């Protein structure tokens, strides 16, 4: 691709100054994020809150001023709490989105740099590659097969071939082929151009302003909860109306009954729950980010926990992607290379002896082709050598520099036929003065059929079946040692000859093979073992050769019964393939559409599939998978933009950590939902039983609201930070569509709720003959204490607390103690006593309450102890 003179950063700034523009940031503003006052107002638009406020007004006018003010204060406090939680959740999500911002390549001061997309300014010279999302509006100045899909902007799904020529000013946006627009996808090829508009000034920015940005969808759990909430709401309103009617008929004060009924409804519906769930999910997303998994939406954490199949690529995910040329195979000569990392220092060893690479003409030819057919750069930062571009190309460059070739970028090229994961090869045409040289590199079984000659010494010989066999054996041999192999070939053609890809890539001269060492990541065997215990099947789907893939699978301990290549895959019917998918299969030399088919077939079998991908062509498979995982370092912008998760370290082990984290979060969410449901049911039952059996008001409205606040968010939230249960990765994945209130959960909620309701009623009855105030305060306190102690039951469904450690979740202890402290203050302090209508309790009263409360904790503990002993 032709190099183009880029502006310096100073010049860029001058351009800005001349046009009197402000240095704004290159980003699309989020139109949707709610302002604080809208969020605050939303807390009070809840229909139940409104009813409650009306009831407060009613009691105010009827002279019950203290009650009215107390309820008002509690409602306001509740609203504020909801507001703070939602605000924090919104900011947490925003911060996560910021972590996902992408980078782009620019030329500034003559140097190629990788910068944050936000820092792009008009006048910058941007380099674009297949898979990039165009970072701004760009006037294209150089192209090599540049194809851009503009569907995000125009809806047109066919990619457009871009050009550099001038077009008349009146050309419609959709026909401006010399422009690349922000947010559109580079499908293939390369391009270079000048930024003409950034941020909200771009066409995409204008469109975003018109349409607003995308909504954060509700997660499955949130949907389930809002559905349950609506049903509960209806039930609560019906019950409340019933309670009001019964109360009035039994001769109670109608206003008091109205308030009780309404408060009963409010207490029955955990309306603070959605906010608590959102904040817990946002906290969870932060915890995920620490485990290197950046969620693109909150649903991902939940789904991750239910994943049953992980389809993973190999290079960079299972392996380190730190390529080093280990072996160079020339016809009948095999050389070893020494050296560390990407440092361009090392020796060439032939038959155990260090040789001068310049003494082997075919070696120099190979290195030169690897050097020309290359986009990578290497540069030194302090002591360390770093790379820009693909690691295998960088490794080829390093090998070339070790032989004495210069570190600088090679000569200008006439034409390039770019690499993609379907063709599995790349070809460039070099202008070599009197003639042109075509350099090709790619998968050996792709390159070899394009060759009719091979280089032997300095001589070109015709390939026959014998020499082809030799070459084939050589690369199988390299692959069996787990080396990644590339073949290199070239040919010389006359100057000025304009060749199509097909014409350029035939009758090539095979030069040799390169074997790259790409060691597996150390943590993979452990991660695979964890996945196996957790009932998750791992399937390797790689573009690399079957032999290399199998060798790597052996090295990492991935059990493989069968290796299937893309060409075999084509011949298999869906039915046959589904059968094979039940075994331990490995897919090699795949093309991206294979990934899509495999995901679909797994899903047809009821599996929940996570799939990794990095290229632009992986986008459909990533979208189709239940969890699309893109790579943060290696992945293209396009892959990242459709994925559910971006792995910041590209590491397979992080997927397993994220699954564990997803399971923990889902388990904890479920725990606090069940906890809240059972304590709310306890409150409702206590009120109903006492109303039906004794006709009395066991707790008064203001107390119900207090209980809701005391027992609600704080203790529930402290459950969300509970550590993962020990056996969490020793169980098969949960079924994704399993309702949160399954049979077992319903039994638990009803059993606990019934206990809380019954016991509260009994203590109330016990003290009622002494005085109503005392009985009422004791019932009120029992509800608080029971619900608080009951929180501990949900720390683990399986293990008694002494095995998980009393202090392993300090937040729960802090929440419990402070809530109980608050309640003690409320019943002994004259101020709150007046508001909450309480009387002080004696030690013996507390003793009775504790005695009644302990079984709710001790019985489940005992059960867990016995079960634990047996296991």
Residues contributing to the site for ligand ATP (CB under 6 A): 313-315, 390, 392-393, 419, 421, 424-426, 441-443, 486, 542-544
Please, what is the minimum distance in Å from the beta carbon of residue 443 to ligand ATP? 3
- Taking the least distance from each CB to ligand ATP, the nearer of 374 and 690 is 374
- Taking the least distance from each CB to ligand ATP, the nearer of 130 and 753 is 130
Please, what is the minimum distance in Å from the beta carbon of residue 629 to ligand ATP? 13
User: What does the alpha-carbon distance between residue 690 and residue 679 come to, in Å, rounded to a whole number?
Assistant: 17
Token digits of residue 731: 């169980």
Comparing C-alpha atoms, which of 216, 196, 200 is closest to residue 208? Answer: 200
- Report which secondary-structure segment, H or E, holds 293: strand 293-295
Token digits of residue 33: 């994020």
For β-strands 425-431 and 413-417, DSSP reports them as antiparallel
- Taking the least distance from each CB to ligand ATP, the nearer of 421 and 530 is 421
> Token match 């409702």: residue?
684
- Give Cβ neighbours of residue 486 (< 8 Å, ≥ 6 apart): 392, 396, 441, 442, 443, 444, 513, 514, 516
Q: Torsions phi, psi of 385, nearest 5?
A: -95, 130
- Taking the least distance from each CB to ligand ATP, the nearer of 204 and 329 is 329
- Taking the least distance from each CB to ligand ATP, the nearer of 392 and 644 is 392
Comparing C-alpha atoms, which of 577, 620, 583 is closest to residue 601? Answer: 577
User: What does the alpha-carbon distance between residue 128 and residue 106 come to, in Å, rounded to a whole number?
Assistant: 9
Decide: 280 and 717 in contact? Cβ < 8 Å: yes
For β-strands 137-149 and 451-456, DSSP reports them as unpaired
User: What does the alpha-carbon distance between residue 145 and residue 141 come to, in Å, rounded to a whole number?
Assistant: 13
Decide: 773 and 839 in contact? Cβ < 8 Å: yes
Token digits of residue 610: 């996570």
Please, what is the minimum distance in Å from the beta carbon of residue 321 to ligand ATP? 9
Please, what is the minimum distance in Å from the beta carbon of residue 422 to ligand ATP? 8
- Taking the least distance from each CB to ligand ATP, the nearer of 506 and 833 is 506
* 313 assigned to active site: yes
User: What does the alpha-carbon distance between residue 98 and residue 90 come to, in Å, rounded to a whole number?
Assistant: 12
Positive or negative, the CA dihedral 302, 308, 312, 316 is positive
Catalytic residue, from 129, 137, 313, 644: name it: 313
> Token match 């005992």: residue?
862
Please, what is the minimum distance in Å from the beta carbon of residue 637 to ligand ATP? 17
Distances (CA, A) of 494 to 412, 434, 435, 498, 613: 17, 7, 5, 10, 41
Token digits of residue 128: 């674009």
Comparing C-alpha atoms, which of 687, 848, 700 is closest to residue 753? Answer: 687
Distance from chain centroid for Cα 798:
29
Comparing C-alpha atoms, which of 823, 704, 697 is closest to residue 772? Answer: 697
> Token match 């787990």: residue?
482
- Taking the least distance from each CB to ligand ATP, the nearer of 70 and 443 is 443
Distance from chain centroid for Cα 823:
41
Please, what is the minimum distance in Å from the beta carbon of residue 645 to ligand ATP? 17
- Taking the least distance from each CB to ligand ATP, the nearer of 192 and 315 is 315
Q: Torsions phi, psi of 832, nearest 5?
A: -60, -30
Comparing C-alpha atoms, which of 264, 265, 263, 297 is closest to residue 278? Answer: 297
- Taking the least distance from each CB to ligand ATP, the nearer of 362 and 393 is 393
Which residue's CB comes closest to ligand ATP?
543
- Taking the least distance from each CB to ligand ATP, the nearer of 518 and 683 is 518
User: What does the alpha-carbon distance between residue 511 and residue 115 come to, in Å, rounded to a whole number?
Assistant: 38
Please, what is the minimum distance in Å from the beta carbon of residue 319 to ligand ATP? 8
User: What does the alpha-carbon distance between residue 34 and residue 219 come to, in Å, rounded to a whole number?
Assistant: 19
- Taking the least distance from each CB to ligand ATP, the nearer of 419 and 602 is 419
For β-strands 293-295 and 645-647, DSSP reports them as antiparallel
- The DSSP secondary structure of 479-542, one letter per residue, reads HHTT-EEEEEEEEEEETT----HHHHTSSEEEEEEEEEE-PBPTTHHHHHHHHHHTT-EEEEB-
Q: Give catalytic residue positions.
A: 313
């Amino acid at each position: 691709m032709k190099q183009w003179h880029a502006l310096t950063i100073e010049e860029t700034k001058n351009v800005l100054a001349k046009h009197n523009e402000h240095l704004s940031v290159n980003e699309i503003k989020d139109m949707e994020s709610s302002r604080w006052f809208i969020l605050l107002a939303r807390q009070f638009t809840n229909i139940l809150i409104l009813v409650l406020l009306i009831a407060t007004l009613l009691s105010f006018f009827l002279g019950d001023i203290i009650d009215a003010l107390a309820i008002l204060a509690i409602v306001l406090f509740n609203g504020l709490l909801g507001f703070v939680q939602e605000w924090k959740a919104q900011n947490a999500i925003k911060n996560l989105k910021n972590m996902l911002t992408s980078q782009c390549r620019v030329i500034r001061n003559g140097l190629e740099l990788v910068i944050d997309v936000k820092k792009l300014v008009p006048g910058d010279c941007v380099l674009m590659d297949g898979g990039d999302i165009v970072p701004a509006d760009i006037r294209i100045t150089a192209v090599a097969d540049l194809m851009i899909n503009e569907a995000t902007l125009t809806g047109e799904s066919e990619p457009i071939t871009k050009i550099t020529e001038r077009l008349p000013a009146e050309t419609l946006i959709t026909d401006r082929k010399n422009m690349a627009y922000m947010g559109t996808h580079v499908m293939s090829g390369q391009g270079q151009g000048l930024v003409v508009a950034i941020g909200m000034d771009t066409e995409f920015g204008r469109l975003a302003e018109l349409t607003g940005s995308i909504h954060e969808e509700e997660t499955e759990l949130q949907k389930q909860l809002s559905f349950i909430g609506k049903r509960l709401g209806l039930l609560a309103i019906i019950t409340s109306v019933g309670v009001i009617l019964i109360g009035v008929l039994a001769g109670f004060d109608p206003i008091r009954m109205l308030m009780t009924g309404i408060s009963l409804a409010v207490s029955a519906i955990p309306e603070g729950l959605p906010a608590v769930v959102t904040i817990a999910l946002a906290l969870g997303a932060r915890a995920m980010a620490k485990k290197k998994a950046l969620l693109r939406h909150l649903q991902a954490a939940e789904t991750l926990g239910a994943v049953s199949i992980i389809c993973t690529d190999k290079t960079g995910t299972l392996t380190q992607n730190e390529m080093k040329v280990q072996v160079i195979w020339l016809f009948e000569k095999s050389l070893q290379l020494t050296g560390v990392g990407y440092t361009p220092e090392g020796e060439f060893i032939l038959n155990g002896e260090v040789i001068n690479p310049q003494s082997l003409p075919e070696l120099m030819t190979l290195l030169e082709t690897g050097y020309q057919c290359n986009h990578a750069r290497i540069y030194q930062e302090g002591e360390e050598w770093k790379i820009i571009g693909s690691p295998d190309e960088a490794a080829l460059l390093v090998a070339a520099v070790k032989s004495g070739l210069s570190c600088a970028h090679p000569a200008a090229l006439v034409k390039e036929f770019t690499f993609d994961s379907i063709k599995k090869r790349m070809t460039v045409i070099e202008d070599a003065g009197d003639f042109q040289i075509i350099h090709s590199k790619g998968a050996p079984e792709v390159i070899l059929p394009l060759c009719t000659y091979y280089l032997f010494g300095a001589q070109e010989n015709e390939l026959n079946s014998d020499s082809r066999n030799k070459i084939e054996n050589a690369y199988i041999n390299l692959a069996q040692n787990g080396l990644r192999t590339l073949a290199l070939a070239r040919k010389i053609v006359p100057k000025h000859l304009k060749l199509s890809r097909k014409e350029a890539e035939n009758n090539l001269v095979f030069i040799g093979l390169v074997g790259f060492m790409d060691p597996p990541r150390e943590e993979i065997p452990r991660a695979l073992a964890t996945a196996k215990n957790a009932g998750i099947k791992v399937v390797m789907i790689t573009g690399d050769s079957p032999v290399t893939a199998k060798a790597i699978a052996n090295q990492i301990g991935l059990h493989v019964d069968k290796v299937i290549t893309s060409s075999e895959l084509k011949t298999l019917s869906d039915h046959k393939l589904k059968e094979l998918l039940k075994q331990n299969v490995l897919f090699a030399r795949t093309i991206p559409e294979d990934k899509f088919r495999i995901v679909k077939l797994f899903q047809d079998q009821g599996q929940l599939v996570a799939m990794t991908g990095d290229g632009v062509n992986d986008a459909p498979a990533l979208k189709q998978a239940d969890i699309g995982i893109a790579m943060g370092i290696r992945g293209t912008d396009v892959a990242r933009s459709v994925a559910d998760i971006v792995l910041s370290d590209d590491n397979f082990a992080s997927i397993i950590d994220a699954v564990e984290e997803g399971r923990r979060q889902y388990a904890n969410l479920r725990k606090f939902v069940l906890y809240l449901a059972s304590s709310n049911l306890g409150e409702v039952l206590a009120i109903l039983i006492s109303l039906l059996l004794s006709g009395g008001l066991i707790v008064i409205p203001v107390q119900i609201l207090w209980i809701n606040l005391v027992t609600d968010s704080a203790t529930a939230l402290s459950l969300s930070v509970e550590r993962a249960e020990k056996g969490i990765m020793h169980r098969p994945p949960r079924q994704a569509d399993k309702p949160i209130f399954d049979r077992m959960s319903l039994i638990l909620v009803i059993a606990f709720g019934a206990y809380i309701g019954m016991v509260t009623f009994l203590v109330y009855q016990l003290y009622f003959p002494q005085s109503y105030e005392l009985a009422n305060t004791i019932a009120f306190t029992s509800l608080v204490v029971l619900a608080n102690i009951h929180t501990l039951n949900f720390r683990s469904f399986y293990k008694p607390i002494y095995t998980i450690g009393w202090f392993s979740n300090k937040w729960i202890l802090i929440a419990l103690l402070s809530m109980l402290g608050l309640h003690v203050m409320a019943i002994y302090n004259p101020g709150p006593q007046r508001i909450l209508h309480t009387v002080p309790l004696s030690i013996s009263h507390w003793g009775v309450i504790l005695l009644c409360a302990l079984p709710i904790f001790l019985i489940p503990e005992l059960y867990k102890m016995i079960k634990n002993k047996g296991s």
